[in-house]
Structure 1
């Protein structure tokens, strides 16, 4: 068979094999995290969170047609898009490897074999496969990155031929379009620059370094010069046309675009006539990059249409600039800045412009803090002052630093210990580069311990090889591990085989083609350590970030492909026959892509998993009609919005996202009708919010009696005499004149008041004012509900909640709840019907469905097991023993302990089984629980005393569980059934008391 035929057939086979894999393992509906948001955005061309992904949204909209009008298939169709473009990435990677391999060997089988092994290895890697089966931007982003590199190789292969520079123009449009998916696509620029530069000039160490530096400069120029300058030009033109010439909105944008297009065309034509081909090419390339980038006009157009989901509201050029700059998110220092304990000494008042309906007016941006300069350092890696972060930093680095005396904002002097540059580098190496990159690299090519997110413990989320002596050196004992570690679906071991092939291939590649080696090495480093530096990750992340570094893993997969060629070419002459080469291909194939496929399939197969969708639908269906529902984070917000926007489940419920309540655009949108939900009543004037006059208000104890909070809001909103305080600099400040407040509530057929105390507050900030405005202004006319009791507790409302399904409704009746761990009262009849009959549970009880860590985690966040326990307890108190038993049995079946491992809710369940008279079930449950706890503790005993520090939380927790289990055993007089439990506990206690 001719090489060309073999090449095409193999490429198509690689594409089909990878696509079928993704198709079979595709998630059938929405997922947790941002997937729900991207899916709903694509469905109706809505505006997702900054900095957006308009090209993903447009392409996703096209793929929704595959749902053929079935709203429950829309998520699947967009997930399918990810699978298709991921298979496209694998196809391009096959071609990339083959193009490079042809320069190193004339053996067609070797060349094609390299492409097959390298591309399929990447196809089945942990991180790439994860993104390929869900509706997220990273699959599409990798497609553009791989297509760009492929185009660069096509240019290199045709160097010197007429019109070959068309490939560079193609790359330019890919880069521009890629910006409409994710900034990660820019990482290809230095590699392409090196290919072009080193093909055009003599290859030397100097030129290799020069080409890399030029490539980095070009990348930074696109990111920090070209795009910002373009947006500045558009904004200047717009403000002249609107504010000075009084023309309609967007007139300046149209003029600027036409001017730029005309100038580009003239420039290209002019330099072509002068024979300046390179200048003409540069202008054309910039024009195409910006043409691709112009896809962001979709955000502008759709935002102006006012869709139900309109995050950031980029409805004019200035708000679009703020949207692209992610102004609503805090900035992270990069090369110089503050540390975690740097005191704030002032604020930088930042301004932007906004359209008020007639002209552009100035408005405030979120202020930037100014930190004491004495505490600012170079390369600040330990900068976050969020709760818990200081201790997290200290768990990775022994911070002795340098002592610095500073004055805080109150004028008081204090001595602080500022981390030294050396300590910053230690944290960078150990956590940011080690834990947050190297660990992910090893996950993909050496093995993964489990999918449980950890904080550096030896039992959660580490990389392992499957070779016990090596794993034991890093992670402690590998024998007698508990069931939850042994049988985790994501426990994948590759025994270093793909990794060693990659190292071998990299060495071989370097020897054969240094120019191309340095080109792809630059991509490996920038997509790995370069991103580590740029992201500057915080020490407590909400989820694993391996998907960010997939570009780096793609390069390593290229090297794995060349590992096959390296071994084949290094074989002695007598062993280098065709049969030997075929046998070697089979060995390497089974040692890399086939091994990855076999190990990774069960934990990447998301078929029949509906948990994210069903949990969200259950929450929405729990709400009374026309309710206002407060949510707190990604996973209790985006899936709910998906259900409303895509499947039209309960569109009457108005979702209020608490992290967005401080944003002016979000407050304004709350007042507008959305789907079947009327706008919220609010008393705070939007104009004052936009002008920054309500960023905070003072709390004064001027009125001694209780005051209606509604009247206070009207007072704060007023400009009447006596409603303002005068500050030292002469400004007027709104204030609240009382600390004992109340507001009226009508819920569940009852009307009454709920008290609010501000005795311990000096100021209320905008987000708190907005929260109270929403609650107080609507509590009479609409049900107020919370997904999380914590949000209600933070505002002193915990004792006025009533459980309604999976949400908590505000009622004017005080309950007896003493802590957030307790559930408030509920209508047991209604709750029984919901839990037992009405709600769907996403197949979480099916043993053949892959229920991963974050599904279990979110079930805990929503306190699903706690809701069942609470209902069973209430039914027992009401004398409905039979129903209580049904609820308990349902809970045991729905949350199998092989997946939903024992926790504090399990202790409640054990007690309730005995209270319900289910003694046999109770004993069986206790036996499994005791066995699980003993298994954990006996495993921890194997660790040396000085190794147990990072296991301290687990040991303390399991010892507490054991102690409580012994209490239940004694209370139920089960000493005969558990004759050794007490002795075992005492012996374990003696061991751990010495080592902790």
Structure 2
């Protein structure tokens, strides 16, 4: 095999292998976050959130018309294909960079060194977390990395061929691709400084003066593209639509003139600008499509003014670069500390280490796990960086520039605040790509060293052996360790969960949703799949914008809104003082009552207090409490009032109470949504809940019982909403507790039980509901995210006669590693009190003592031993505790345990010591209470009477004595006590009523 064929074989293998892996793990349909929006907009040619991705949508529309597979899967294929191409491009780029300092391959060993090293770097990139994550869903970051990869490859190729005729075509192609890439994401223009460096080092010898000139020209070129072409060129439309056309044609004419007059530099500069503008014209599709009012038309950029606002992302506001977003976060001592600790370390360095050291897990805030990749990729990359600098510092500076611009420079520019709604690692894949180049170079250096060690005869064996070992230690290990976490095959949650939200709603309903994950997937189902298009989704975040309010008002299905378009534009879409006064909502101001009322269908009204939801300073006397309503709050109020109960109104269960404008008591749960109800206090609709959970959703809990499917932390959180609904329905029947005529047998088919559900006792209904929950959303696959819920569920089963279900859950909870002492103690108490398992309880208590030797833990365990009647163990712990210096509170607790193990003399001694340290009434009350709880009523009565002798007005002592007399059945003493108390406290009506009750008991002869 020739070296050229070997080179092509490596490239083809890398493309095909990564393509196969990505195809095997790609999401079968839409995923959460922006994916549903991008797929829907691709299919219907809608307008997504600013600044849009028109080229991606055009390509997505093409892929959506493929004649096979789910539509969401078809659009996902874009990311699969371009990421596999990016892996191949990294290999091709790395080979060319290696040749620049090592020379072309002259033998098979040379080929294995160059190609093998480059292949290692490419495969490592393929299986880094963020690259793989982007490769298997419909998002712009995969194709954005592809554009970065291809322009970087093209500039390196140009450097190889710069002296050949026609090499300038690569520079022009780079310019055109850069223009096109802007139609995907602005990240791609960050490669411009690296491109400029390649051109400089290829055409000029380094001098400080020429280098500074290059930096100035590079900065100027970057400014021409951004903000020049991206922001300022479209802005000229405000003056006249002819101006940008004239500029475009003038640039093209200038390029033609320069070509004719053989002015090469001027031609390249003007032709590049012309081609960037030409590529950028894909944004015209956004303007054109918005004119046609597609169902998804975010920001409605159908006028020049709104289109420019859309391009400039004005919806998100301006972020200062120099002033870091610290906001006096108590976790950071200064702006500099916040910048380094949060923005750099947490929001970038952590992500970099995820890729090349290992990720702790697939959950928000995950740390770095050295045991995943053992930092081998990181170390090899750092070695490759050092080696690259030593062999070819010019190109090393190029890669370093790309790494910085696509990593740390973004951190500086974005100035992210804390917290973020999700992890942001996906945005930095350009820098991970650059680091993978150094991994390739580091691998090549090690293979070259092995060839030298093996000398001529054994060089091939050594190089092949090293290549195999590095492949196993790096990419193969990364593939094995990361495969499950990145495998989305079979993950249908976004489709099913969103479908179930829509199907919860009654016909022609409105549903308020919270954010991306309960809105974008619903848009996809409605606009692409035609599911429940009668339901109007109202996103609360977007409800703060005027354009969205008007779309809801005018586009079918219309939302009842009373405000005129002029009012919306003037008061709801502005933030000046006049507009803000309309949102002023002070508390306890008679001129601005916060209690609202609306009529109900039966002729009555519902009234509720609407709390302010945001604070704006109003001057002197400002308390800092919320004093304004958000636009979304005003709109919910108006929609509810204007609707007049004509359309059913729902809130998704993901909407927080703070976004419900005080209506929570009027919301009735029907499944994955709450319905607004004129009746207050009806927490659930049991019939609709049962029908939705057990019938409507039945076929759309797909794969939630499949342990082979991976779900991330975000999905786990969402799926708890199913459990919440099941448990609330079960609690309803548990509290009602009506008898029935049929009996539930767990072995019967669910359909048979469901058919006779109404005949079951409420006891059996609860069991069936809990079993159905476990069948559809099993805990072994979808873990419960709170131990409290697990315990509650287990206790429910135990109360219903299935203690084995509690034991199963307790065994799982207790097997968790590194449990804190309070949880261990609590689990031991559950074993003891609910299951009567003293052996399991003692095992937990022993672990508490083994891992924690504090006073609190020993007292807790001693108390538990006393309850278990393990008196010897309790005495041993109490002896240990008593040897430590104790305050009065500690002595009181020790004395209480001595009472429990029937050692009243020891208890009395310790109580006296405590009273000497703190002779106050509070200590005496605690001693008396300890005697009462130990059923030593004589000692308790004595102590309570001592308290009353000191303080005749002490109601706690009176209450304690009454409890003793009740337990003893001594109504005479109770009457005597209360007569004395009422005589000295004639206004105590409660005591007077109690006295009358006791007198009646005495008169009737009752004890």
SS in 2 for 1:394: coil
- The residue number in structure 2 matching 1:690 is 569
Q: 1:212/1:846 Cα in 2 relative to 1: closer, same or farther (>3 Å)?
A: farther
User: What do residues 912-964 of structure 1 show as CA deviations (whole Å, max 9, x unaligned)?
Assistant: 212333222223223323443xx342xx57xxxxxxxxxxxxxxxxx369648
User: 1:765 Cα deviation (Å)?
Assistant: 4.5
1:434 corresponds to 2:317: no
User: What do residues 870-918 of structure 1 show as CA deviations (whole Å, max 9, x unaligned)?
Assistant: 1111123343222321221232341324641451322331232123332
Q: Match for 2:642 among 774, 777, 786?
A: 777
Q: Where do residues 12-51 of structure 1 align in structure 2 (5 Å cutoff)? A: 12-51=12-51
**Alpha carbons 1:26, 1:134 under 8 Å: kept:** yes
User: 1:703 Cα deviation (Å)?
Assistant: 14
Q: Where do residues 427-826 of structure 1 align in structure 2 (5 Å cutoff)? A: 427-454=338-365, 461-466=366-371, 493-571=372-450, 573-576=452-455, 577-674=459-556, 678-692=557-571, 694-697=579-582, 738-746=593-601, 752-757=604-609, 764-788=629-653, 790-791=656-657, 794-815=660-681, 824-826=683-685
1:128 corresponds to 2:131: yes
SS in 2 for 1:127: helix
- The residue number in structure 2 matching 1:83 is 80
Q: 1:696/1:786 Cα in 2 relative to 1: closer, same or farther (>3 Å)?
A: farther
User: 1:744 Cα deviation (Å)?
Assistant: 2.9
Q: Match for 2:811 among 927, 930, 950?
A: 927
Consecutive unaligned residues in structure 1, runs of 5 or more:
238-251, 337-379, 384-389, 400-422, 455-460, 467-492, 706-735, 817-823, 942-958
Q: Match for 1:93 among 90, 115, 118?
A: 90
**Alpha carbons 2:585, 2:629 under 8 Å: kept:** no
Q: Distance in 2 between matches of 1:67 and 1:964?
A: 56
Q: Match for 1:113 among 103, 116, 130?
A: 116
Q: Match for 1:856 among 716, 721, 724?
A: 716
- The residue number in structure 1 matching 2:872 is none
User: 1:699 Cα deviation (Å)?
Assistant: 6.4
SS in 1 for 2:66: helix
- The residue number in structure 2 matching 1:318 is 305
SS in 2 for 1:785: strand
- The residue number in structure 1 matching 2:690 is 831
**Alpha carbons 1:198, 1:211 under 8 Å: kept:** no
Pick which of 301-310 and 889-898 moved more.
889-898
User: 1:829 Cα deviation (Å)?
Assistant: 5.8
User: 1:200 Cα deviation (Å)?
Assistant: 1.4
**Alpha carbons 1:828, 1:875 under 8 Å: kept:** no
- The residue number in structure 1 matching 2:11 is 11
- The residue number in structure 1 matching 2:911 is none
Q: Match for 2:326 among 378, 382, 406?
A: 382
Point out the structure with the larger helix share. Answer: 2
Q: Distance in 1 between matches of 2:785 and 2:630?
A: 40
Q: 1:130/1:213 Cα in 2 relative to 1: closer, same or farther (>3 Å)?
A: farther
User: What do residues 766-815 of structure 1 show as CA deviations (whole Å, max 9, x unaligned)?
Assistant: 33222211111114210110013524764111111111121000001110
Q: Distance in 1 between matches of 2:506 and 2:476?
A: 52
User: What do residues 482-534 of structure 1 show as CA deviations (whole Å, max 9, x unaligned)?
Assistant: xxxxxxxxxxx111222222122222222222211111110011111111111
Q: Distance in 1 between matches of 2:52 and 2:29?
A: 22
TM-align CA RMSD: 2.8
User: 1:40 Cα deviation (Å)?
Assistant: 0.9
SS in 1 for 2:582: strand
SS in 2 for 1:264: helix
- The residue number in structure 2 matching 1:394 is 330
Q: 1:181/1:579 Cα in 2 relative to 1: closer, same or farther (>3 Å)?
A: same
Q: Distance in 2 between matches of 1:793 and 1:507?
A: 54
Q: 1:528/1:216 Cα in 2 relative to 1: closer, same or farther (>3 Å)?
A: farther
Q: 1:589/1:646 Cα in 2 relative to 1: closer, same or farther (>3 Å)?
A: same
Pick which of 902-911 and 584-593 moved more.
902-911
**Alpha carbons 1:745, 1:811 under 8 Å: kept:** no
Consecutive unaligned residues in structure 2, runs of 5 or more:
572-577, 613-625, 739-761, 859-1007
SS in 2 for 1:27: coil
- The residue number in structure 1 matching 2:193 is 190
Q: Distance in 2 between matches of 1:779 and 1:973?
A: 57
Q: 1:758/1:33 Cα in 2 relative to 1: closer, same or farther (>3 Å)?
A: closer
Q: 1:332/1:574 Cα in 2 relative to 1: closer, same or farther (>3 Å)?
A: closer
Q: Distance in 2 between matches of 1:448 and 1:704?
A: 53
- The residue number in structure 2 matching 1:148 is 151
SS in 2 for 1:906: helix
**Alpha carbons 1:697, 1:763 under 8 Å: kept:** no
Q: Distance in 2 between matches of 1:18 and 1:809?
A: 47
User: 1:660 Cα deviation (Å)?
Assistant: 1.1
Q: 1:777/1:572 Cα in 2 relative to 1: closer, same or farther (>3 Å)?
A: closer
**Alpha carbons 2:55, 2:180 under 8 Å: kept:** yes
Q: Distance in 2 between matches of 1:66 and 1:684?
A: 44
User: 1:147 Cα deviation (Å)?
Assistant: 0.8
Q: Distance in 1 between matches of 2:252 and 2:485?
A: 52
User: 1:993 Cα deviation (Å)?
Assistant: 6.0
**Alpha carbons 1:751, 1:812 under 8 Å: kept:** no
User: What do residues 160-182 of structure 1 show as CA deviations (whole Å, max 9, x unaligned)?
Assistant: 22232111111111111111111
**Alpha carbons 1:869, 1:908 under 8 Å: kept:** no
SS in 2 for 1:802: strand
**Alpha carbons 2:512, 2:650 under 8 Å: kept:** yes
SS in 1 for 2:645: coil
Q: 1:260/1:213 Cα in 2 relative to 1: closer, same or farther (>3 Å)?
A: closer
- The residue number in structure 2 matching 1:843 is 703
- The residue number in structure 2 matching 1:165 is 168
Q: Distance in 2 between matches of 1:704 and 1:582?
A: 82
1:911 corresponds to 2:795: yes
Pick which of 826-835 and 874-883 moved more.
826-835
Q: 1:891/1:983 Cα in 2 relative to 1: closer, same or farther (>3 Å)?
A: farther
Q: Distance in 1 between matches of 2:87 and 2:842?
A: 59
User: 1:6 Cα deviation (Å)?
Assistant: 1.7
**Alpha carbons 1:786, 1:792 under 8 Å: kept:** no
SS in 1 for 2:608: strand
Q: 1:649/1:965 Cα in 2 relative to 1: closer, same or farther (>3 Å)?
A: farther
Point out the structure with the larger strand share. Answer: 1
Q: Distance in 2 between matches of 1:64 and 1:543?
A: 28
Q: Distance in 2 between matches of 1:185 and 1:636?
A: 30
- The residue number in structure 1 matching 2:246 is 259
Q: TM-score, normalised by structure 2?
A: 0.75
SS in 1 for 2:370: coil
Q: Distance in 2 between matches of 1:158 and 1:751?
A: 84
User: 1:89 Cα deviation (Å)?
Assistant: 0.9
User: 1:220 Cα deviation (Å)?
Assistant: 3.8
Q: Distance in 1 between matches of 2:148 and 2:204?
A: 25
Q: Distance in 1 between matches of 2:453 and 2:122?
A: 29
- The residue number in structure 2 matching 1:488 is none
Q: 1:967/1:326 Cα in 2 relative to 1: closer, same or farther (>3 Å)?
A: same
Q: Where do residues 310-349 of structure 1 align in structure 2 (5 Å cutoff)? A: 310-336=297-323
Q: 1:66/1:161 Cα in 2 relative to 1: closer, same or farther (>3 Å)?
A: same
User: What do residues 21-67 of structure 1 show as CA deviations (whole Å, max 9, x unaligned)?
Assistant: 10001110111111111111111111111111111111011001125
- The residue number in structure 1 matching 2:864 is none
- Aligned residue pairs, count: 802
**Alpha carbons 1:67, 1:74 under 8 Å: kept:** no
User: What do residues 663-686 of structure 1 show as CA deviations (whole Å, max 9, x unaligned)?
Assistant: 010000001233xxx211211111
| Higher relative contact order, structure no. (Cα contacts within 8 Å, ≥ 6 residues apart) | 1
